[in-house]
């Protein structure tokens, strides 16, 4: 690709697009950090609350422990999935801005259209698929594992294998 001699000069709209792109990147980074903290806070909350319940039930198992062991991960899973959903949405906005800058200034400004911020199918999928993807992805395995462990121990308790 031949680059013309005239340099790229930012217009007001370009400057606003670059600022918005930077702000969206900052927001995505904060949400990503928030989602990681949510996972740590979930495990901490779960163990602290279960320890309190065990002490309040005189060190004996009962149904409240298992219900709590289910409700806490489900609530944090919902919160984390919401953050994940909005990360995808913001990355889609970033990609649209990048495409607009590339299409308007491609001879002067080298922005590779193949280097996407996010796969367009993830942003343009139907709402139910985006919601499902937000809740069921590799970063949500922690919640699934906590729930499986809870149900497993609950089943053992129900079968009187543990008391």
Strands (E) across 4-155 are located at none
Distance of alpha carbon 157 from alpha carbon 150, whole angstroms:
10
The tokens for 10 are 């930012």
Digit-by-digit pLDDT tens for the chain (163 residues) are 455 556 667 778 888 988 999 999 999 999 999 999 999 999 999 999 999 998 888 878 889 999 999 999 999 999 999 999 999 999 999 988 888 877 776 555 555 555 677 888 889 999 999 999 999 999 999 999 999 999 999 999 999 998 8
Tokens of 141: 């395995």
Of 133, 48, 49, 126, nearest to 87 by C-alpha is: 133
Q: Angle at the Cα of 11 (from 6 to 13), degrees rounded to 5?
A: 145
Q: Judge whether 79 and 139 are in contact, CB under 8 Å.
A: no
pTM, whole model, 2 decimals?
Answer: 0.82
Q: Domain map of the chain by residue range?
A: 12-158
Which tokens go with 136? 């069921």
Q: Which residues contact 6 (CB under 8 A, 6 or more apart)?
A: 108
The label of the residue with tokens 């499902």 reads 132
CA atoms within 13 A on the CB side of 44: 6
């Amino acid at each position: 690709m031949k680059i013309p001699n005239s340099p790229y000069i930012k217009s007001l709209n370009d400057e606003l697009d670059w600022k918005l792109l930077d702000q969206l990147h900052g927001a995505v980074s904060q949400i990503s950090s928030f989602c990681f903290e949510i996972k740590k806070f979930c495990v901490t909350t779960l163990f602290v609350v279960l320890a309190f319940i065990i002490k309040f039930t005189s060190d004996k198992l009962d149904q409240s422990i298992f219900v709590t062991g289910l409700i806490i991960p489900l609530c944090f899973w919902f919160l984390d999935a919401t953050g994940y959903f909005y990360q995808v949405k913001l990355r889609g906005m970033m990609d649209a801005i990048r495409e607009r800058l590339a299409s308007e200034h491609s001879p002067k400004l080298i922005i590779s259209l193949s280097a996407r911020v996010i796969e367009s199918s993830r942003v343009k999928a139907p709402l139910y698929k985006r919601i499902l993807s937000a809740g069921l992805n590799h970063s949500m395995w922690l919640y699934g594992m906590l729930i499986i462990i809870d149900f497993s121990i609950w089943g053992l308790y129900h079968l009187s294998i543990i008391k």
